[in-house]
Amino acid sequence: MRIRIVDAFTDRPFAGNPAGVVLLDDAFPEDAWLQNVAKEVNHAETAFAHRLPEGGEADWALRWFTPVTEVALCGHATLATAHVLHSTGAHQGPVRFTTRSGVLVATPAADGSVTLDFPTAPLTPAETPAGLADALGAEPLGVLDTGPNVGDLLVELADEEAVRALRPDHRALGAHSARGVIATARAQDPAGPYDYVSRCFFPNVGIDEDPVTGSAHTALAPFWSERLGRPDLTGLQASPRSGLVRTGLRGERTLLTGSAVTVIDGELLA
């Protein structure tokens, strides 16, 4: 079967967040095989999808695996999968994926970008855990829980420079949330090409720093839309690879828009 590596939330190769994408001919094989493929690919996520019978609530079934575990929600690997389906002609128009987080819709645009319709993360104020500032390497202004689908702590920092300068203790961060920590701040230049910055650290699922995280933006979108007074924003994830995510808050749903580029197209032999 074919396996592809796709850089998501970017319009150029070797940027954004790489994901493996495997389109299966039939139902999902055993979990151990899926996990071994994801471990072999060794990117933040590998997506596996297979076509569903016509007439149902979804067109394709979709699952996501990090190198060490299956996850409940992944934005960049969903974008990567939609990009593969549209660029290869395997699916035309909006595609509905059935996932552990419900039915997710990916809609292509004429410019090649894809908009994902994801559930908005519920944000709940939380006490700053003891030791979080030391583990992160910066003092939080505030901390919120992002709910079960995302599973992170959302941590606001003083400014963009503080986010970019983080050098966290990844092992220590793992004690503070189910998946990891999203660090964020308002953009230094309000008139610039992005409204807020973030970085995402997920040691509990084997990812010290994720390059660009779609699921995190389902929490970042409501957080910054409330503060900036606008439903439509652009976030920059300031990892070394970097990437832009356009977010649109629509109540209980959040729209995530980005581009993707296929960089490897090969054959999976195992």
Handedness of CA 196, 130, 147, 95 (dihedral sign): positive
**In this structure, how many other beta carbons lie within 10 angstroms of the beta carbon of residue 96?**
17
Q: Residues 6 or more apart from 23 whose CB is under 8 A from it?
A: 1, 2, 49, 50, 84, 85, 90
* Angle, in degrees to the nearest 10, between helices 214-228 and 75-88: 110
Angle at 170 between CA 166 and CA 172, to 5 degrees: 110
Q: Is 45 a catalytic residue?
A: yes
The DSSP call for residue 28 is -
Identity at 141, one-letter amino acid code? L
Q: Which position among 45, 156, 160, 209 bears the catalytic label?
A: 45
Give me the active site residues, please. 45
